[in-house]
Structure 1
């Protein structure tokens, strides 16, 4: 983790400003007039993790090895759960902020990166407190604590007033829910004995609401919470519970839809409860579902299998340097049996961002 001592030098600030202006010129998403996004902060799971689990020896939710990252810069596996960039990177790129959103726990993190945003996400985590324990991941409340640490480091760089400005004007994204539904609930007999699906989705929605409140107390004002995806149509879930024909698992998707409905209502009420906040529910369920079912419409040839191995079950340690990969991952919606390809993210993220960006202002 970066260690910050004293204030950043003037020439360093100048260099960051020049770089920021250059990236602003590259940004593709049009912001409302007079609106600015100084930084992006990310909380969540493996969909958006950019390497925070790399140095955690207790978790299996790591992918800092080949063939992960085969299409990343130099073919380097960085801990991103894909063949290349993940939504965290594409969001900052589309907003014109910078090229990549670095992991906060990256030992090579540069102090200048704090000015434009970092990533606290941890593969394997979720809204249910049990989920990160099962995966030995960083819980969402602990990710908020990392954000508080980040804010103190930022204050040491640029002073309290500028630090408060950056945090309150940044867009903070939260991506979670898949692991709760697919793993903690449907793979855990204990959770099913404790809760039926309506009660479990209540637990998830309440946890998400409390997380947003914690972010607000930390000085965050703009929060985008992404919906749970159609987890029943992810290749691994089709294989495990979709029968011989590997169909989408309706019970999983129905749980995700129920949670999304409750989450949307919870977030809407928080806008009234938290003065000056802009809390936005971002639906990715329908967009991803359409890309999976109607993959040819998006220019993909395969929507029900990943590129790694058979594409039906391989993920994290089962997708390794000995595992063969498909000839052209740009033809696949999924990279492994759980995570989409960079090509899919590049088709899906920009229009979703363009749809919701105005709601943050």
Structure 2
């Protein structure tokens, strides 16, 4: 068994080197075809109504930042990425694109949102969008701290560093225009509940009731948004919690043999979203810079996929494509446990994260919101 494991590790290492080479080639081809790959391109981006997309959060929007830090919370190995171009496991916790990739492609900004820590991504390409997100993070500062991931605080520091570097490249005034005209998307919160509150060592559960903890999370979300505003964000999209009680892992742990969505978990997600709507949407910067917060509903679309799967072409809604589909995600989702033939028929790729097909339908649900944001940008510019 040890020999087999060693051989497997060697094969995986070789495969990753090939994948990285192919991905860098793909990224290069995409970059040289983009107008934002030059300093002039970055300046040109500052004249557009929506210059780019800057992303913060967890594994739902991390395109591979965790590949470049010392953490076990990764997905840069098969079968992740099996439907990504060249079948590359980039570090996205899915079989292919994330919702943010579909959004930037729809806006004709670029094909994929790159990871900030990827050393092959050039500064000029980051000007039109980049993700600072890190799988395993959350609003609670303690979430993911034992996994050595990028907390939201560290992600904000990365953004400020990026902004300083861009200022040296194209000037402070042009950088402010680029940043002011970009959209900032925040997607996190599930790790706070599943790991920090209900996890093996639930320290927060000893300190807060669940309603108190939800309030605590929203307070930290508000604080983070206000700090983004101070850093130059004008258009902020806050992604609410999805229908977490429908995730295969949640069903496995808390549900009956019928494998139905767990109402108690759904109720917590609804409470979080309701409080976030009350506190965050319409939040204005205290310095009067015209900042605006929009709410991105991810709860309703997921619930619709589960309750009306045929409408979207889904066949499996309560188990993932990877392994048994009941518990496997992260390191437990690997080539040794197997994978389904067609992930497009599944809502979830592993026991926690949606498939590329599900992310596509989530993107489709966001188009009215995107149109509203662009319309407001035109009116204000």
Alignment map for 1:50-61 (pairs within 5 Å): 50-57=63-70, 59-61=71-73
Match of 1:17 in 2: 35
The answer to whether the aligner puts 1:182 opposite 2:200 as a matched pair is no
Alignment map for 1:210-289 (pairs within 5 Å): 210-271=223-284, 273=286, 275=288, 276-289=290-303
Q: Deviations over 1:130-170 (max 9, x none)?
A: 11214321111111111101101111221111100010110
Matching residue within 141, 144, 148 for 1:129: 141
Deviation at 1:354, TM superposition (A): 2.4
Deviation at 1:291, TM superposition (A): 0.9
Q: Deviations over 1:96-133 (max 9, x none)?
A: 11001100000111233122111100000001111121
Match of 1:79 in 2: 91
SS in 1 for 2:344: helix
The answer to whether the aligner puts 1:292 opposite 2:306 as a matched pair is yes
- Give the stretch that moved more between structures: 186-195 or 81-90: 186-195
Alignment map for 1:86-125 (pairs within 5 Å): 86-125=98-137
For residues 39 and 337 of structure 1, what CA distance do their matches in structure 2 show? Answer: 31
Alignment map for 1:4-43 (pairs within 5 Å): 16-17=34-35, 36-43=49-56
For residues 122 and 37 of structure 2, what CA distance do their matches in structure 1 show? Answer: 14
SS in 2 for 1:88: helix
Query: Which ranges of 4 or more aligned residues in structure 1 deviate by more than 3 Å?
Result: 13-16
For residues 295 and 123 of structure 1, what CA distance do their matches in structure 2 show? Answer: 27
Match of 2:177 in 1: 165
Match of 1:48 in 2: 61
Q: Deviations over 1:65-95 (max 9, x none)?
A: 1111111111111101110111121111111
Match of 1:4 in 2: none
For residues 218 and 288 of structure 1, what CA distance do their matches in structure 2 show? Answer: 32
RMSD after superposition: 2.0
SS in 2 for 1:63: coil
For residues 356 and 100 of structure 1, what CA distance do their matches in structure 2 show? Answer: 17
For residues 81 and 32 of structure 2, what CA distance do their matches in structure 1 show? Answer: 32
SS in 1 for 2:68: coil
Match of 1:3 in 2: none
For residues 348 and 220 of structure 1, what CA distance do their matches in structure 2 show? Answer: 24
The answer to whether the aligner puts 1:333 opposite 2:347 as a matched pair is yes
Q: How many residues are treated as equivalent by the alignment?
A: 335
Q: 1:301 to 1:137 in 2, by over 3 A?
A: same
For residues 247 and 47 of structure 1, what CA distance do their matches in structure 2 show? Answer: 22
For residues 203 and 231 of structure 2, what CA distance do their matches in structure 1 show? Answer: 34
Q: 1:70 to 1:228 in 2, by over 3 A?
A: same
SS in 1 for 2:266: helix
Deviation at 1:290, TM superposition (A): 1.0
For residues 287 and 247 of structure 2, what CA distance do their matches in structure 1 show? Answer: 35
The answer to whether the aligner puts 1:345 opposite 2:359 as a matched pair is yes
Deviation at 1:268, TM superposition (A): 2.8
SS in 2 for 1:83: coil
Gaps of 5+ in 2: 1-30, 39-46, 377-381
For residues 68 and 48 of structure 2, what CA distance do their matches in structure 1 show? Answer: 37
Deviation at 1:269, TM superposition (A): 4.7
Matching residue within 80, 83, 89 for 1:68: 80
Is the CA contact 1:236–1:313 (under 8 Å) kept in the aligned structure 2?
Answer: yes
Deviation at 1:327, TM superposition (A): 1.2
SS in 2 for 1:149: helix
SS in 1 for 2:162: helix
Is the CA contact 1:181–1:256 (under 8 Å) kept in the aligned structure 2?
Answer: no
TM-score by length of 1: 0.88
Gaps of 5+ in 1: 1-12, 21-33
- Give the stretch that moved more between structures: 120-129 or 274-283: 274-283
For residues 350 and 149 of structure 1, what CA distance do their matches in structure 2 show? Answer: 33
